Amino acid sequence: MALAEKWWEIDRSLPDTWIEARLTLLMHGQNYAERAAALLGPANPARSGLRISLYVTQRGRGTSPKALARLLTRLDEEGLSGELDLVSTTEADAPVEPEDTMLSDEWERQTAGLPEDWSDLYAQIDLDSSDYLEPGALALAPVNPARVPGENAFRFRSARRSGYGASSAMVRRCMERLDERGITGSLEILRVLSDTKHVSTQGPVWYVGGRSV
């Protein structure tokens, strides 16, 4: 059974009240263990020999169920075999509603709430870990992301019809690329304009901190 599939089997067996689960992944070989630990880096794994310990949570900061599944899928794609087992769980007094949200879905949700004639927007994506900065920049390259100094964040522009900024469809694809890599974070639309007219320009200019963006 594939590791991602095994995880979903474990997830379905957990009670509705679970908050955190501790897992152990026993890899079938030293080279597999080394490579698996590297691919699972965003989940902050603890490795001892062939055994890798993982934690997944439904609340707060940490590796969400969907993020773990995406990371395990990367191991499956590379043919890294192992045995995934549940070690322990922490439960709440009442059923827990997962906080996990795909960034691609969040993009759709936020743009759906904009005026129907929106034309230009400026957005920020905050990543949950500094480990995500380099792979995140690569995944977001088509939207020309700008790093936010001192933060694990990028800002970018989107144009609905024309002008400077990535199309909404391109932004969604970049968010999907983050989702596929198990990169988690939050998305916020900072500024938005409606029905702008681009007369001999590439669109509106915003000034942030004395600089045009």
Task: Determine the 3-state secondary structure of 128 from DSSP.
Answer: coil
Determine which helix (DSSP H) or strand (DSSP E) holds 21, and give its type and residue range: strand 18-27
Q: What share of the chain in percent tops pLDDT 90?
A: 37
- 121 — phi, psi (to 5°)? -145, 160
pTM surpassing 0.85?
A: no
**Domain C-terminal end among 59, 91, 123:** 91
3-class SS at 164?
A: coil
**CATH number for position 163:** 3.30.70
Burial 136-147 (b: 16+ CB within 10 A, else e): beebbeebebee
Residue 48 structural domain: 3-91
Written as six digits, the tokens of 210 are 């004395």
Residue 23 pairs in a beta bridge with: 54, 86
At residue 61, the pLDDT reads: 65
Is residue 96 assigned to a domain? no
Count Cα neighbours of 50 within 13 Å in the Cβ-side half-sphere: 12
Are 132 and 188 part of one and the same domain? yes
Assess whether 54 and 141 both reside in one domain: no
Question: What backbone phi and psi angles, to 5 degrees, belong to 150?
Answer: 80, 0
Same domain, 87 and 113: no
Question: Considering the domain boundaries, does residue 164 fall inside one?
Answer: yes
Whether 98 is in a domain gets the answer no
Average pLDDT, integer, range 42-67: 85
Q: Three-state SS string across the chain, please?
A: CCHHHHHHHHHHHCCCCEEEEEEEEEECCHHHHHHHHHHCHHHCCEEECCEEEEEEECCCCCCCHHHHHHHHHHHHHCCCCEEEEEEEEEECCCCCCCCCCCHHHHHHHHHHCCCCCEEEEEEEEEECCHHHHHHHHHHCHHHCCEECCCCCEEEEEEECCCCCCECHHHHHHHHHHHHHCCCCEEEEEEEEEECCCCCCCCCCCCEECCEEC
The domain total for the chain is: 2
Distance, in Å, from the CA atom of 27 to the CA atom of 196, rounded to the nearest integer, reads 56
**Is there a single domain that holds both residue 112 and residue 77?**
no
Q: Identify the domain boundary among 58, 91, 124.
A: 91
Per-residue pLDDT band for 209 (boundaries 50, 70, 90) equals low
On whether residue 211 sits in a domain, the answer given is no
Give per-residue pLDDT as tens, 82-108.
999 999 999 887 776 665 668 888 898
172 with 122, same domain?
Answer: yes
Q: Are 130 and 145 in contact (CB under 8 A)?
A: no
Across 107-129, average pLDDT: 87
Which one has a higher pLDDT value, 212 or 175? 175
Q: What is the mean pLDDT of the chain?
A: 85
